[in-house]
Amino acid sequence: MISHEIYQRFGLTDDVIEYAEKVLEDLIPRFSKIDERAERAQLKVIDAMQKARVDAACFAATNGYGYDDVGRDKLEQVYAHIFETEDALVRPQITCGTHALSLALHAVLRPGDELISPVGQPYETLKSVIGITPASNSLSEYGVTYKQIELKADFDFDYDAIRESVSDRTKMMTIQRSKGYQVRPSFSVEKIGELISFIKSIKPDIICMVDNCYGEFVDDLEPSQVGADLTVGSLIKNPGGGLAPMGGYIAGRKDLIDQCAYMLTSPGLGKEVGASLSVLPSFYQGLFMAPTVTASALKGAIFAASLYEDLGFSVLPDKTEDRHDIIQAVTLGSAERVIAFCRGIQAAAPVDAYVTPEPWVMPGYDCKVIMAAGAFVSGSSIELSADAPIREPYAVYFQGGLTWPHAKLGIIKSLQQLVDERLVKLP
């Protein structure tokens, strides 16, 4: 670790720095494996760009209808190559991950169809999309019914209950890879593949959609490579590499991508319209950077798990487990600790470091939520950030870090805040 002096500029004390140094000593072998996986992913991205014959013309701005937007069309080819799918929809008009999921659900499902989540409750903001939380234009308002199969006590899939839940009306299964605001493991691509195979064995025409947010480039494979019909994510998370200023993607079967495109623009127009304005250079370069940026975030997550587990807190995943997304949950046990943790993350930010996060009622959530993010792109959770619902068990969800040094600083600063407020004692 570098000289304490520069860390002291951020209000870090010698005892906190020395504790962090001890934790880091054991992580070097794991970090080396993360770098190896990032190298494989980097080569996969370069290969996809070469196959699509990306050139300087792809970076040109377009406006109006966006007809013949070469850069947009080739970028979608690149995503299809990476995810090994028939087609992809990658657009700045997709505003966030929830929008991408909502778009896919509304595009595919029809009145009378049934949607099932075989992995328990979905992320908070998707509840309004489905109609679990009453909302205008939800799926339930359009006559789509919903079932939810809870995970077993050991967080495995309840295969018997899934089999029993399927009916002639079951059109789609939605599988959330990351834990969201639940204290449960995130699913590996391998495990998702096993679930999809089981679902298809019951009813082969069920459409399996995977919410891939926070998971891209973490495993060697993506869900689309193990049977997912649609794989959905946000460009201000992993695949945007911290450079994409907005956007989302849907990769999968061509007929389903066509339906999503018609829903996004208009029936009869689909993918042919949608100007990219001037965002394509950041989309391409962000995707190029994504494997190494994701690796930095993974290192930060492992460091956070190791640091807080050694202090006696429950962490998920724990410090030795394999990683399947960039999210690190730390159960802190009190609202005061959650708030202090987030304030420490905020204080380490390059942007808005002087701001003090406070819990507030956010649209789409059923309780107060605190969010810490001093980001170059608003809401970008591939950048150093942390958020938490202010409710039991008072778990905070840490993610991101465009560079490993920044992720490291943020985690140490979160601990310093807890120590300063006398909410944690060092061993």
| pLDDT per residue as tens digits for the range 240-251 | 999 999 999 999
**Whether 351 contacts 376, CB under 8 Å:** yes
pLDDT given at position 67:
95
Query: What does the pLDDT average to over 299-323?
Result: 97
Among the residue ranges 213-222, 350-359, 361-370, 414-423, the one predicted with the least confidence is 361-370
CA distance 136 to 124: 16
| Residues forming CATH 3.40.640.10 domain(s) in the chain | 55-282
Q: Has residue 131 got a pLDDT over 90?
A: yes
Q: CA dihedral in degrees (329, 331, 334, 340; nearest 10)? A: -50
Q: Which residue has the tokens 């450079």?
A: 243
Compute the mean pLDDT over every residue in the chain, rounded to the nearest whole number.
Answer: 96
Q: Has residue 366 got a pLDDT over 80?
A: no
Q: How confident is the model at residue 362 (pLDDT cuts 50, 70, 90)?
A: confident
Q: Has residue 139 got a pLDDT over 80?
A: yes
CA distance 75 to 241: 15
Q: What is the DSSP letter of 323?
A: -
| Residues across the chain | 427
Query: What does the pLDDT average to over 308-337?
Result: 96
Q: Has residue 300 got a pLDDT over 90?
A: yes
Among the residue ranges 196-210, 222-236, 353-367, the one predicted with the least confidence is 353-367
- The fold of the 4-41+288-420 domain, in CATH, is Aspartate Aminotransferase, domain 1 (3.90.1150)
Query: What does the pLDDT average to over 178-187?
Result: 86
CA distance 415 to 308: 8
Q: Has residue 112 got a pLDDT over 90?
A: yes
pLDDT tens per residue across span 43-93: 999 999 999 999 999 999 999 999 999 999 999 999 999 999 999 999 999
CA-to-CA separations, 200 to 195, 205, 224, 226, 227, in angstroms, rounded: 9, 7, 14, 12, 9
Q: How confident is the model at residue 124 (pLDDT cuts 50, 70, 90)?
A: confident
CA distance 90 to 81: 13
CA distance 406 to 302: 14
| Residues forming CATH 3.90.1150.60 domain(s) in the chain | 4-41+288-420
Q: How confident is the model at residue 1 (pLDDT cuts 50, 70, 90)?
A: low
Peptide bond into 393 cis (omega under 30): yes
pLDDT given at position 75:
98
Query: What does the pLDDT average to over 142-161?
Result: 97
pLDDT tens per residue across span 395-425: 999 999 999 999 999 999 999 999 999 999 9
Q: What CATH number belongs to 55-282?
A: 3.40.640.10
